[in-house]
């Protein structure tokens, strides 16, 4: 199971990103563990300054802006 973290201070784009990932995973029938990281120290710990960021199994795959659907499907 993939562990996916959405990094963001709770802004609307971060919510949208989390929702998009959830939908894409549900559509593909892939089980994921989705986590929202709002702690600044943790976000910067990943080296991300522009939110929302996405971390999959400990690897930053995206930073800054809402990712598009195709990209998300690529991660899954």
Instruction: Report the interface residues with other proteins, using CB under 8 A.
Output: 9, 11-13, 40-41, 43-51, 59-68, 70-71
Q: Kindly list the catalytic residues.
A: 11, 14
In angstroms, give the least distance from the CB of 5 to other proteins: 13
In angstroms, give the least distance from the CB of 54 to other proteins: 9
Mapped onto helix, strand or coil, the DSSP state of residue 32 is: strand
Mapped onto helix, strand or coil, the DSSP state of residue 57 is: coil
Helix (H) or strand (E) holding 33: strand 32-37
Place of tokens 């802006």: 65
C-alpha to C-alpha distances, 74 to 9, 19, 29, 43, 53, nearest whole angstrom: 25, 16, 14, 23, 16
Q: Which is nearer to other proteins, 16 or 31 (CB)?
A: 16
Q: Which is nearer to other proteins, 26 or 45 (CB)?
A: 45
In angstroms, give the least distance from the CB of 23 to other proteins: 16
């Amino acid at each position: 199971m993939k562990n996916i973290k959405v990094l963001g201070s709770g802004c609307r784009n971060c919510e949208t990103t989390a929702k998009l990932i959830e939908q894409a995973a549900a559509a593909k029938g892939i089980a994921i563990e989705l986590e929202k990281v709002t702690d600044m120290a943790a976000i910067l710990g990943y080296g991300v300054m522009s939110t929302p960021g996405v971390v999959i199994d400990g690897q930053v795959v995206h930073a800054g802006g809402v990712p598009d659907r195709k990209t998300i499907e690529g991660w899954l």
